[in-house]
Amino acid sequence: MDGVDHLAFERNKAQFDVEEMKIVWAGSREDFELSDRISRLVASDPVFRKDDRTVLDRKELFKNTLRKAAHAWKRVIELRLSEQEAYKLRSFVDQPAFTDLHWGMFVPAIKGSGTDEQQQKWLPLAYRMQIIGCYAQTELGHGSNVQGLETTATFDPKTDEFVIHSPTLTSSKWWPGGLGKVSTHAVVYARLIIDGQDYGVHGFIVQLRSLDNHLPLPGITVGDIGMKFGNAAYNTMDNGVLTFDHVRIPRSQMLMRVSQVTREGKYVHSNVPKQLVYGTMVNVRQKIVADASVALSRAVCIATRYSAVRRQFGSHNGGLETQVIDYKTQQSRLFPLLASAYAFRFVGEWLLWLYTDVTERLKANDFSTLPEAHACTAGLKSLTTTATADGIEECRKLCGGHGYLCSSGLPELFAVYVPACTYEGDNIVLLLQVSRHLMKTVSQLGTGNKPVGTTAYMARMEQLMQYHSDVKKAEDWLKPNVVLEAFEARAARMCVACAQNLSKFSNPEEGFQELAADLVEAAVAHCQLIVVSKFIEKLQQDIPGKGVKEILEVLCSVYALFLLHKHLGDFISTGCIDPKQGSLASEQLRNLYSQVRPNAVALVDAYNYTDHYLGSILGRYDGNVYPKLYEEAWKDPLNDSVVPDGFKEYVQPMLKQQLRNARL
Q: Supply φ then ψ for residue 274, to 5 degrees.
A: -65, -20
Pairing between strand 133-136 and 185-194? Answer: parallel
Distance, in Å, from the CA atom of 26 to the CA atom of 606, rounded to the nearest integer, reads: 9
Percentage helix, strand, coil, to 5, in the chain? Answer: 60, 10, 30
> Annotated binding residues for FAD, as ranges?
138, 177
**Would you say 445 and 451 are in contact if contact means Cβ atoms under 8 Å apart?**
yes
Q: Supply φ then ψ for residue 138, to 5 degrees.
A: -60, 140
The neighbouring-strand residues paired with 174 are 241
- The residue among 552, 558, 524 whose CA lies nearest residue 540 is 552
**Would you say 239 and 176 are in contact if contact means Cβ atoms under 8 Å apart?**
yes
Distance, in Å, from the CA atom of 256 to the CA atom of 242, rounded to the nearest integer, reads: 23
Active site residue 424: yes
**Would you say 393 and 408 are in contact if contact means Cβ atoms under 8 Å apart?**
no
The single residue of 424, 521, 550, 587 carrying the catalytic annotation is 424
Distance, in Å, from the CA atom of 457 to the CA atom of 464, rounded to the nearest integer, reads: 9
* Burial of 331 per CB tally in 10 Å (0-12, 13-18, 19+): buried
Alpha-carbon torsion angle 519, 524, 530, 532, nearest 10: -140
Measured CA distances, 406 to 20, 411, 615 (Å): 33, 6, 10
Angle between the 328-363 and 276-309 helix axes, to the nearest 10 degrees?
160
DSSP assignments along 370-387, one per residue: HHHHHHHHHHHHHHHHHH
Distance, in Å, from the CA atom of 339 to the CA atom of 565, rounded to the nearest integer, reads: 14
- Residues marked as catalytic: 424
